Homo-oligomer: A and B are copies of this chain.
Amino acid sequence: MHGTYKPLWLDNNGDLEVIDQRYLPFEKKTRILHTGADVSQAITDMTVRGAGVIGNVAAFGVYLLAREYAGDKTKITEQAQIIRASRPTAVNLMWAVDRMLQVVAQSQHVIADCKAEAIQICDEDVLRTQDIGRIGCDIIEDIMQRKALTSFNILTHCNAGWLGIVDSGSALAPIYEAQRRGIPIHVWVDETRPRNQGASLTAWELLDAGIQHTIIPDNTGGHLMQQGMVDMVITGADRVALNGDAANKIGTYLKALAAKDNDVPFYIALPTNTFDFACQNGVKDISIEMRSEDEVHMMRGVDEHGLPQIIRITPEGTKAANYGFDVTPARLITAFITEAGCITPNKTAISRLK
C-alpha cells in the first residue's frame, strides 16, 4: 500500500508512515508512527487530518496496538479507546475504531487480521471517493448545461482532497473528475483560518494537479456569490446527523448562508460512513472541538529566504477562541454527494443508508 495520492502507508518495518500535514506546503516531511500512542498524538496534533484519513490512520492505530500488545484483545480494546477519543468531531474516527475492534473481537489471528482490515478500510475509501467524484461531476455538468455555462466556478472550504480522504478526496473528487473530463474549472479556495488548510493543503493539491484556483480570505465568499462569481459550493463533512445537519470545518455555515441567500447550490460531499445515524439533531447534539488558542495567535510560513518560521500575529495578552467546527443546518444544504448517490438532507433519505 503506497500511492502518490495517499498521505499514509506502511513502511518496510510495518510501521505507519504519514505525510506530516503541519508542514505543507513549505516542507514535505513524513512521520513514522510506531505505536497506538503515536497515532493518538498524530491525530490530536493534526499531523494527519481530514475525516477519512483520520479514520484510516485510526484503523492502522488499532493494528499497531495489536502488534504492540501481541494480540492481547483486552489491552487492544482498552488502548483503542484513547485513539477513538483523540478528536471529538470526526465520526469516521469512531466508525473505523469500532469496525477494527469487531475484527479484534472475532479474530483468531489478531495482528494479521487487523492489518488486512485497515488496508481494506483504505481501499474502500478509494472506491468511495472515485464514485463521489463521478456523481459530483455529473451534477457539475447538469448545472453547466442548465445554465449554458462554458466554464465553472466552485468555492470550497478547508481541505477535503486526497490529503483528507484517499485517494480523490470528497469535496475535491468531483473537481479532479471534472479535470479528467476536460471541463474548464476554476476553484475559489477559502484560506480556512486558523490552520489555513485551504491556503496550504487545498492550494498545494490543486497546484500539483494543475487545476486553476485562487486563494481567498474566508471573508470573501459572500461577496463573490452576491456578484454571481460562484456556480457551486462544495465542502466535505466531519459528521452528519440523521436530520441532515452537517458538522464541518468552522466557517462552513457562513458559506452555506451566503449560498442560500444568492441561490448558489451548496453541496456536501462525503462517504456514507460520515453519517452518524445515532445523532438525531446536528445543531443541538454534535460536540464541537475547542482547540488551542495558539493556533489563532501563531502563524506558520516561510521567510524571505524560504526558511520555515512561526510568528505571533496578535498582541501579547489577548485571548483567542478556537472552535474547530460549526454545524450547517440541513435546510441550507442542497444535497449530499455520496458513493451511494445524491442524498436529500432529511431523516427519511438519510435513514435509507443505514
Contact = CB atoms under 8 A, between A and B. Distances in A.
Interface string A6-46: 00000000000000000001100000000000000000000
Contact of A323 (B215, B220, B315): B220
Interface string A268-299: 00000000000000010000100000001101
A216 interface: yes
A303 B311 contact: yes
A193 B219 contact: yes
Interface in A181-225: 188, 191-194, 196, 199-200, 203-204, 207, 213-224
A138 interface: no
Contact of A215 (B199, B216, B318): B318
A319 interface: yes
A258 interface: yes
A130 to B, nearest CB: 26
A336 interface: no
B226 A250 contact: no
Interface in A62-112: none
Interface of A: 25-26, 188, 191-194, 196, 199-200, 203-204, 207, 213-224, 226, 249-251, 253-255, 257-258, 261, 283, 288, 296-297, 299-304, 309-315, 317-323, 325-327
Given A219-B254, A226-B253, 17 more contacts: A196-B313, A214-B319, A215-B296, A215-B321, A218-B218, A219-B249, A219-B251, A220-B251, A221-B254, A222-B326, A223-B250, A299-B299, A300-B313, A302-B312, A303-B310, A303-B311, A309-B311
